[in-house]
Amino acid sequence: MWRDFLELTKPKVVALIVFTAVVGMFLATPGLPSWQALLWGNLGIWLAASSAAALNHVLDAQIDGKMARTAGRPLPTGHLGLRQATAFALVLGALSMLILGLLVNVLTALLTFASLIGYAVVYTLYLKRATPQNIVIGGAAGAAPPVLGWVAVTGEVHAHALLLFLIIFIWTPPHFWALAIFRRADYEAVAIPMLPVTHGVEYTRWQILYYTVLLLLVTLLPYLSGMSGLFYLGGALVLGLTFLYYAIRLLNPPNEWFAMRVFNYSVIYLMALFAFLLIDHYLPHAGAREPVLEFLRVAG
Amino acid sequence: MSTGPVSVDHTRLLWMRRLAVLATLLCLSVVVFGGFVRLSHAGLSCPDWPTCYGKAAWPTKEHEIATANIDFPQRAVEVSKAWREQLHRHLAAVLGSLILALALISNWQDRRRRWLIIACVPVLIFAILLYNPGGLPLPSMPFTAFLIAAGVELALVAAAFSARAGTTARLTLLLLALVIFQALLGKWTVTMLVKPIIVMAHLIGGLSVLGLLGYLVLSLRRVAAPAVSSRAPKRPLVIAVFVLLTIQIALGGWVSSNYAALACPDFPACQGRWLPKTDFSEAFVLWRGVGVDYEGGVLDGPARVAIHLTHRWFALIAGLALFWLAWRAWREPALRAAGGALALVTAGQMALGISNVVFGLPLWVATAHNAGAAGLTLLMVYLLWRTRPMPGSLQTHRTQIR
């Protein structure tokens, strides 16, 4: 029973979300964030993300049952009832709001609430079924956690926090479309207008490539804006070029499974990228000079 | 194999082989001559790029020199040096054209890649004109020119990876991208006033072009070499030794570009001591800002000693690895000649390195030391090719353009 409830919260996805929030917290301050922000902030964000995941299970229960990937979820299999799951989700959400609002700050609670609604209602109920741009727009909810983490520490939205938001926002489409290519038959069966269903696999592959190029450029911004240093830049370049390699190979993949390998890499990519951000934040920066910027000034 | 009528493929293969051999020989000369240009202190003798004092060749006549000295007040014309720098560029340009032809021939059958390569030519010419309009009525937009060149590079690399792995199509496209990058590094060598990291990268880039061309020649050979036995050195060993050699060559480039060759004027001790004063924290700072004239070096004594000693001591490691590999190859009958050559060139290279110190860096010894690095690179590429993985039954078949 508790395993079913746990599965309802999509623990792996939520772990990645909380990780990006943690990184957002550490990047928000030159030293270490307060233990209150770390403990209560992450607990609140974790509960909210779990609540959103559970709500997604509830709202998608019908189509989940018809898709091979999701047919084994607790609701379609009848392990849990709709009412049980709904109550569970609402309790988690309420707890999260109480913790964030009372023990962290009101802005964090408000933004977290907006993200929760954005994912569970706007994306799941409306966007997902309405447009092939569903995950592009819906990606905003998934991109929010580092901002939430940042705000939990400082109480305000900083431009650098929005940079982290932008990275995840641009990362989401190639990440998800790789999965959608592999699972397109599922989506077609339940008439969800995912891009590979509406515009074909070939078109989606090119979109993945375009977004990957964009992602590579966007991940340079933390360095170019002076938020991160050379260590991050090196990591971002290696990770980004590898992603690019996967995206180019996906144009002419060796087998059907390759889309899934791209998807798996994209998860590792995001974790590693944020790990680089985090480590770089605590490395002593060698002087104020930015070699690459200086090089670009004289490259012509 | 080809008993039937001469096919188009056969003609293509023949021409590619001839071109590739020619390009490899030319590349070897460009690398050796490039080392000579640097070591004879002629690297900055043309202050502009790709022209030399505004000319396609270099100023020779009295009035040309007078005009050049007025137009380029930052550096007085030295005809005896300017010709070296500009001839190096001309040779490199011919090499670039040969590589362009190779890329075009081996990508001809793929319509997209063919047109990409053809399109690169006017685009690059346009970028060069944007950088240096010469007498043409074009605005001078150096940064835009750089962005265009970077775009061309990205497109070529992407095209290379769209070709199948292990094909000459991919190899030649990578070569083309690399040789264009070498041109950029050559330009920056001049405009960033022999900045050490640029000079070192230019050396490594040149040897990479040479190595890839060597690999191309080998993969175009009419008859595949006999298979090596299981006692032959394995590929990972060859790769590991190659990595050590590359590090040692890069360190050598760092010695030269920081003018540290004579930081220790004696051998085997340094300044009469086994542990002279060193400064490793300053020795390997890769970036020291631009706008500094690096000719003659900017580091103080202890930092140069640190650089010099690193190259000297790492020579022991790289040398031992090379001798070990040479011995392993020597034991394998099919690789005996290569193993022997590797041992000889390694020994020669060490002798040249010591001579550089003992005799106070004579120009011909220093140039030969650079040529020795090129020779070792080619030998390692040969061993790399001989130990390549082969599908069992295919090894006696002809290598074909795929």
B229 to chain A, closest Cα gap in Å: 32
- The yes-or-no verdict on residue A218 having pLDDT over 60 is yes
A298–B contact, CB cutoff 8 A: yes
Shortest CB distance from B290 goes to which of A245, A251, A294? A294
Residue B141 to residue A295, Cβ atoms within 8 A: no
CB pair distance less than 8 Å for A300 and B143: yes
pLDDT, residue A159, reads 92
Kindly list the residues from chain A whose CB atom is less than 8 angstroms away from the CB atom of residue B177: none
Per-residue H/E/C for chain B: CCCCCCCHHHHHHHHHHHHHHHHHHHHHHHHHHHHHHHHCCCCCCCCCCCCECCECCCCCCHHHHHHHHHHCCCCCCCHHHHHHHHHHHHHHHHHHHHHHHHHHHHCCCCHHHHHHHHHHHHHHHHHHHHHCCCCCCCCCCHHHHHHHHHHHHHHHHHHHHHCCCCCHHHHHHHHHHHHHHHHHHHHHHHHCCCCHHHHHHHHHHHHHHHHHHHHHHHHCCCCCCCCCCCCCCCHHHHHHHHHHHHHHHHHHHHHHHCCCCCCCCCCCCECCECCCCCCHHHHCCCCCCCCCCCCCCCCCHHHHHHHHHHHHHHHHHHHHHHHHHHHHHHHCHHHHHHHHHHHHHHHHHHHHHHHHHHCCCCHHHHHHHHHHHHHHHHHHHHHHHHCCCCCHHHHHCCCCCC
pLDDT digits (tens, 9 = 90+) for A101-144: 999 999 999 999 999 999 988 999 899 889 999 999 999 999 99
Q: Quick check: B5 pLDDT over 90?
A: no
Nearest residue in chain A measured CA to CA from B184: A299
The amino acid occupying position B400 is: Q
DSSP string, chain A: -HHHHHHHT-HHHHHHHHHHHHHHHHHTSSS---HHIIIIIHHHHHHHHHHHHHHHHHHTHHHHTTSTTTTTSHHHHTSS-HHHHHHHHHHHHHHHHHHIIIII-HHHHHHHHHHHHIIIIIIIIIIHHH-TTHHHHHHHHHH-HHHHHHHHHHSS--HHHHHHHHHHHHHHHHHHHHHHHHTHHHHHHTT---HHHHH-HHHHHHHHHHHHHHHHHHTTHHHHTTSS-HHHHHHHHHHHHHHHHHHHHHTS-SSTTHHHHHHHHHHHHHHHHHHHHHHHHTSPP-SS--HHHHHHHHH-
Partners of B273 in the beta sheet? B270
Q: How confident is the model at residue A288 (pLDDT cuts 50, 70, 90)?
A: very low
Using a pLDDT cut of 70, give the percent of chain B over it: 95
Residue A115's closest CA among A170, A59, A44?
Answer: A44
pLDDT, position B401: 43
Q: Do the Cβ atoms of A300 and B145 come within 8 Å?
A: yes
pLDDT tens track for A64-112: 888 888 888 999 888 888 899 999 999 999 999 999 999 999 999 999 9
The average confidence (pLDDT) of chain B is: 91
Name the band, by pLDDT with cuts 50, 70 and 90, for residue B7.
low
- Position B230 scores a pLDDT of 82
Which sign does the torsion angle of CA B134, B138, B139, B143 carry? negative
Q: How far is B142 from chain A (nearest CA, A)?
A: 4
pLDDT given for residue B399 in this prediction: 44
Residue A116: what pLDDT? Answer: 93
Alpha carbon of B132: minimum distance to chain A alpha carbons (Å): 10
Q: How far does B216 lie from chain A, in Å, by closest CA? A: 23
Cα→Cα distances B325→A155, B64, B236, B341, Å: 62, 54, 11, 11
Task: Give pLDDT, residue B227.
Answer: 77
A249 close to B (CB below 8 A): yes
Residues of A in contact with B291 (CB under 8 A): 298
Task: Report the pLDDT value the prediction gives residue B90, as an integer from 0 to 100.
Answer: 97
B287–A289 C-beta distance less than 8 A: yes
Q: Which of B286, B287, B290 is most worth mutating to test chain A (most A CB atoms within 10 A of its CB)?
A: B287
Query: Which of B131, B146, B161 lies nearest to residue A248, judging by beta carbons?
Result: B161
A chain contacts of residue B286, beta-carbon cutoff 8 Å = 291
Dump pLDDT digits (tens) for A37-70.
Answer: 999 999 999 999 999 999 999 998 888 888 888 8
Check CB contact under 8 Å for A249 and B289: no
Read off the pLDDT of residues B248-304 as tens digits, 9 standing for 90 and up: 999 999 999 999 999 999 999 999 999 999 999 889 888 887 778 899 999 999 999
